[in-house]
Amino acid sequence: MRSSVRRRPCGRFGSGPSFALAAAGLLTLAGLACRPSQGQTGVHKENAMLEIHPLLAGRDFALGNTGARQMANFVYLVAERTSGLCVLVDPAWDIEGLLERVDMEKLTLVGVVATHCHWDHVGGRFGGMQVEGVGKLVQLKKVPVWVNALDAERVKANTGVGDESLRRVKDGDVLELGGAKLTFVHTPGHTPGSQCLRVGEAVITGDTLFVGECGRVDLPGSDPEAMFASLGKLAALPEATVVYPGHHYGKTERSTIGEQKRTSPALKPQSLDEWQAWLAAP
Ligand SMILES: [Zn+2]
């Protein structure tokens, strides 16, 4: 399944060099302080009160962490300014750095959203190394972790987070953040419980949709047919919807649904047969 074409750990095609490094225990895991927001990281204002702060691992936090930089995970700080409340989406790699960022922005963290159960998004053990994530976060801050019910057990197993911290959600459930309503969109395929988060007119897509490609469908729990349906669900969103992916794999850090429909090969197949043919292509 095109596994030799490209090498990205969470992208559709095969494992990357960082996996080999991780297996060999060669990654530097010490997280360093968070970098101020000026410069590369644009804060996206959905409206006067709702903000999305993209934070790239190894650049905006977890500085000096080779593994974090190679994996290129995005963590998103979603803030509602009227109330001063925020949530972190997929906090991992450097929890103290991320919490420092929350403090710098003078926000109050009220919870965590997990797009799915993988170690680079919620923390966990991989190939002999331990990546910190929501397990450490809930020890430092007593906040709930919203996860799709179908990935909840794997989040527990990967992170040690207990039932008392987990909030199991399903498609269409709403997270109220001050005066804003964030909506969970179940997008299985990469994992059974993969989910996206609608934030105003934007969507945080985890490992379902990246800029220019989609998440892997050859991992334990992956389901290629479900991924096809999930991508169709995202493609049906308004074309102006801003896409915030779970990794920085594309030419740009974010895109729109319209742009991805025009340019991404992952959104080109119009039938299950076309999709399967594309997946099987060399
Ligand atoms: Zn993943």
Give 49 Cα–ligand 1 centroid separation in angstroms.
30
Give 8 Cα–ligand 1 centroid separation in angstroms.
11
Domain residue limits, the chain: 17-280
Give 189 Cα–ligand 1 centroid separation in angstroms.
10
Count CA atoms closer than 13 A to 4's CA, side-chain side. Answer: 2
Give 122 Cα–ligand 1 centroid separation in angstroms.
10
Residue 282: count of CB within 10 angstroms of its CB:
6
**pTM (two decimals):** 0.88
Distances from the Cα of 82 to the Cαs of 62, 65, 176, in angstroms? 29, 34, 13
> Which tens digits make up the pLDDT trace of 205-222?
999 999 999 999 999 999
User: Which of 3.60.15.10, 3.40.640.10, 3.40.250.10, 3.40.50.670 would CATH assign to domain 17-280?
Assistant: 3.60.15.10
Mean pLDDT, all residues of the chain: 88
State residue 202's pLDDT score.
Answer: 97
Give 106 Cα–ligand 1 centroid separation in angstroms.
30
- Token couple for 52: 């999305």
Give 115 Cα–ligand 1 centroid separation in angstroms.
9
Give 217 Cα–ligand 1 centroid separation in angstroms.
10
Is the pLDDT at 35 greater than 60, yes or no? no
> pLDDT category, 23, cuts 50, 70, 90?
very low
| 27 vs 89, more confident | 89
Is the pLDDT at 30 greater than 80, yes or no? no
Is the pLDDT at 225 greater than 90, yes or no? yes
Max CA pair span of the chain: 51
198 class by beta-carbon count within 10 Å (0-12 exposed, 13-18 middle, 19+ buried): middle
41-50, 124-133, 163-172: lowest mean pLDDT where? 41-50
Mean pLDDT of 150-172: 97
Mean pLDDT of 104-113: 98
- Rounded Cα distance between 190 and 184, Å, is 16
- Token couple for 152: 């909840």
Give 86 Cα–ligand 1 centroid separation in angstroms.
23
> pLDDT category, 122, cuts 50, 70, 90?
very high
Give 83 Cα–ligand 1 centroid separation in angstroms.
32
